[in-house]
A and B are shown apart, each in its own frame.
Chain A
Amino acid sequence: MDFTPFILSFKLAAITSLILFVVALPLAWFLSQTNSKTKPFIEALTALPIVLPPSVLGFYILWALSYNSPIGAFFEEYFNVQLVFSFTGLVIASCFYSLPFMVQPLQSGFESLNKNMLEASYLAGKSKMQTIFQVALPNIKPALLTAVIITFAHTVGEFGVVLMVGGSIEGETKVASVAIYEMVEIMDYKMAHIYSLFMITLSFVVLLSVYIFNAKHNRKFGLNR
């Protein structure tokens, strides 16, 4: 069995999750603390990838990153990086596609925090940064874990956008979901089964560990409800 598609899938998911964590953390914090009138607009914009067909997202990302667009041309000319039909392109596409799955759990986690607790931290002389990392994040560990794992799993499971932006280049953009699709296409059902069952088992184990961790976390801090 060739594991390259899986390794590619997990590499893509890991990089995407890492980038999104850095991007989504300040965004989720801002959304949770603000009463600004722009909030609903930003929220709607971040949630778009959930409701849009992957083909729409894929089409526009393809259009924006291709050599014919200023962005694509810029990267190709100055960094000699081709953004479409490459792994880099997949990472960019996945970041858009999975953004809401990182932002939303973090935001609702931050929103559930006792406001007075954060204020107590400010009154103790702690900056916003210190408060986020030492008070806010440790108190939303379940939400934090959910955000990271769901983003990771969602990226592993993506298909439409990946196919449109990446195509199916062996070892470069042919991730597990695309590989399975191709096996079905050529009617290699045996391999399709093996790959699919592998995906199901792995996904189940990952989700199970999230739920077990959350239950343990709640017991430790006396949060059993």
Chain B
Amino acid sequence: MINIDIKKELHGAHGVMPLDLAFSVKKGEFVALSGESGSGKTTLLRILAGLEKAEGSIDVNQEKWLDGANALPPQKRRIGFVFQEYALFENMTILQNLLFVAKDKALAKRLLEITELSQLQNRYPNTLSGGQKQRVSLCRAMMQRPTLLLLDEPLSALNPTMREKLQQEILTLHKEFHTTTIMVSHDPSEIYKLASRVIVLENGKIKEDGKTKEILLRTQGSQKFSFKGELLELKKVDVIFIAIVAIGQQIVEVVVSQTEVKHLKVGENVLLSTKAFQPSITPL
């Protein structure tokens, strides 16, 4: 059980923003941390890791990591941290990277097997692809059998295929080691697949906190489908208008009426939804 109650002043783009968070995480839980950039997600992870100062308290299984302004140094917390940009030890081979954390050859071999990296164990990090590097980083984080695993947007620099593969591996590792995990992510499908709980931050405060399904599947009214997108273009075709909307990686065309057009502005975020139709779903 991890109890967190912290305060810190952040100096962001919009002046001073107080970070003020209180929540608990159960042992073995997988929590996704979401929210706009600048809302304090990374800072929270860094405070948990002991890399940044804060006031308040962090209790981890009866151990005091933060008590007032007294912080346990990062060396003593047994944290597994996966940075967005890998941060591997470039002077060491893959295997040496793992063994530097803990001299546990059996565990290193096991982790490299799960992530299919055994063939590459004697290579240096800079000769690997981004996806491979991030898998090494994940293995390295697991080497000290961490009390808490922190993932800071670990997959955002990777392409979609590599992303899916790594999501699967994170899930496998979580099932095998039951490590309490907090992951920063913006990708709803990623959060849905991995996390059982989502915490949404806004301006340094908790905006939403609940079960993944409840938060992600929330739809307004009786709408069956609703997607957030960006309005790219409004075209007039004879008497009707066509809106071009970007939803995720997809571009879609929607017919809109003259009255609707008045409320729309190109470049704005829009919610695209529909109520009465029979969706068909086909495998790709």
Contacts and interface: CB of A to CB of B under 8 A. Distances in A.
Interface of A: 114, 116-117, 119-127, 134-135, 138-139, 141, 220-223
Interface residues of B, number: 27
12 contacts: A117-B89, A119-B51, A119-B81, A122-B74, A123-B49, A123-B77, A124-B102, A135-B91, A221-B91, A222-B126, A222-B127, A223-B126
B253 interface: no
A116 B100 contact: no
B144 A117 contact: no
B90 A221 contact: yes
A222 B75 CA distance: 30
A124 B87 contact: no
A119 B85 contact: no
A125 B78 CA distance: 7
B126 A221 contact: yes
Nearest to B123: A222
Interface string B84-109: 01011111000000001110000000
Interface of B: 49, 51, 73-81, 83, 85, 87-91, 100-102, 124, 126-127, 140, 143-144
Q: Which 8 A-B pairs have the closest CB atoms?
A: A222-B126, A116-B87, A138-B91, A124-B101, A222-B127, A116-B83, A117-B87, A122-B74
B256 to A, nearest CB: 46
Contacts of B89: 117, 120-121, 135, 139
A139 B144 CA distance: 23
A124 B88 contact: no
Main secondary structure of the interface of B (DSSP, over half): loop
B75 A126 contact: yes
A223 B90 CA distance: 10
A117 B91 CA distance: 11
A116 B87 CA distance: 6
B87 A134 contact: no
A124 to B, nearest CB: 4
Contacts of B76: 125
Contacts of A123: 49, 51, 74-75, 77, 79-81
Contacts of B87: 114, 116-117, 119-120
Nearest to A118: B87
A120 B81 contact: yes
Contacts of B126: 221-223
B75 A117 contact: no
Given A119-B51, A120-B89, A134-B100, A221 B124 contact: yes
